[in-house]
Amino acid sequence: MILAGDVGGTKCSLGLFAKNGPTLRSVFQRRLPTRDYAGFEDLIGDFLEQAAGVNKSADIREIEAAGFGLAGVVVDGSLHAGNLPWVLNGSALARKLHLNKVVLLNDLTATALSLDRLASNDFVILNQGTAEHRASKAVIAAGTGLGEAILFWDGRQYRVAPSEGGQADFTPRTEIEIQLLIHLNKQLPHVSCEEIISGRGFRRIHEFLNPSLRHSSFDATESDAAREITQQGLTECCPICVETLEVWTEAYGAEAGNLALRTLALGGVYVAGGIAPKIVAQLRNGTFLRAFCGKSKFASVLARVPISVVVNEDAPVWGAAYQALSSSDSNS
């Protein structure tokens, strides 16, 4: 049995998987709110209790290995994160779970590792493009934060290089983005891409466009505000929400294009994370692709890059699970 999870600032998706040779089969999965738990061990304990109560085949005594994709940087087996309330260490967690080893990896690395394991219906095509054989690929994912990762061919297989590109400075391209940056510079010590291209970015853009218009969710959490703004934008119930969604989508497409240029991701770009599956219609209306390609003399090159939305939100869980399986097999 393999225990795996996608550990984010808003929610944790956890799963138990049964081994079937080189493949895995999902036995039990749950999503739990991150900030409802004082520690990660408490959250795992609650999950395992639920698993034992619901699925008798989910025998936690048979767990051989565990892997977790985490929203942050993993250095020497410890997590460094800005969006998580806990301090995590792989060795300490392994001792508490009575396992030989727990694999901690960046959540975008986990997503990238899942891509070859997902089914065709786990993707929605934004741009068919023409993939270059064995060229680099890139993953970008907006959710509670903004994550980025690179897949490169090492001569035998694709390997994943994590990145913290979401923490890079936000670079405006249009007049409205320039004014947005000026506006946010007065509020924040550092305006990174993540401050705009993430869940909290929706409210920031909305308040910039019209500070006098408030929605009921603005008195709740950031995720509630993002949900209301995107829903009202998609249904065109609120003109400011429509404009907010357009500005946000354009910024996302531009950053995805920047990532493709920096990594020469001619093998494809994958748009993952918790937000994209909920706004697929918006991503397909042309705004994202125009911003992605809007890079002067390289526009024609970027137009050939395949772009897919990963609509399976459990992709990082599967990537972490297979990484744990690999670790288990190598130790046996």
Per-residue pLDDT 10s for the chain (332 aa) are 899 999 887 789 999 999 888 899 999 999 998 888 888 888 898 998 898 887 665 566 788 899 999 877 777 777 666 666 677 778 888 888 888 888 998 899 999 999 999 999 999 999 999 999 999 999 999 998 899 999 999 999 999 998 889 999 999 999 999 999 999 999 999 999 999 999 999 999 999 999 999 998 988 777 789 999 999 999 999 999 999 999 999 999 999 999 999 999 999 999 999 999 999 999 999 999 999 999 778 999 999 999 999 999 999 999 999 999 988 766 65
C-beta atoms surrounding 291 within 10 Å: 21
Q: 85 and 134 share a domain?
A: no
CATH code, domain carrying 88? 3.30.420.40
Determine the pLDDT at residue 198.
96
Q: Provide the β-strand partners of residue 69.
A: 6, 105
For residue 63, give Cα distances in angstroms to 21, 51, 100, 101: 15, 12, 11, 11
C-alpha 86/C-alpha 106 separation (Å) is 15
Which range of residues forms the domain containing residue 175? 119-311
Q: 327 and 299 share a domain?
A: no
Q: 131 and 90 share a domain?
A: no
Determine the pLDDT at residue 90.
80
Determine the pLDDT at residue 214.
92
Q: 78 and 51 share a domain?
A: yes
* DSSP conformation letters of 168-181: SBP---SHHHHHHH
Determine the pLDDT at residue 121.
96
CATH code, domain carrying 161? 3.40.367.20
Determine the pLDDT at residue 122.
97
C-alpha 328/C-alpha 66 separation (Å) is 9
Q: 102 and 203 share a domain?
A: no
Nearest one of 72, 69, 58, 51 to 12, comparing CA atoms? 69
Determine the pLDDT at residue 83.
62
Determine the pLDDT at residue 199.
94
Q: 307 and 187 share a domain?
A: yes
C-beta atoms surrounding 56 within 10 Å: 8
Q: 325 and 267 share a domain?
A: no
Determine the pLDDT at residue 135.
97
Residues 6+ apart with CB under 8 A from 193: 146, 165, 166, 167, 168, 169, 170, 251, 255
Q: 128 and 277 share a domain?
A: yes
C-alpha 4/C-alpha 305 separation (Å) is 32
Q: 100 and 233 share a domain?
A: no
Q: 206 and 258 share a domain?
A: yes
Residues 6+ apart with CB under 8 A from 214: none
Q: 108 and 227 share a domain?
A: no
Global pTM reads: 0.91
Counting other chains too, the contacts that 183-190 makes at CB distance below 8 Å and 24 or more residues apart are 183/208, 184/208
Determine the pLDDT at residue 9.
76
Determine the pLDDT at residue 101.
80
Q: Give the three-state DSSP class for 138.
A: strand
Q: 263 and 282 share a domain?
A: yes
Q: Provide the β-strand partners of residue 74.
A: 79
Strand order from edge to edge, sheet including 11-20: 23-33, 11-20, 2-7, 65-70, 102-106
How many domains is the chain built from? 2
Nearest one of 242, 219, 192, 205 to 83, comparing CA atoms? 192
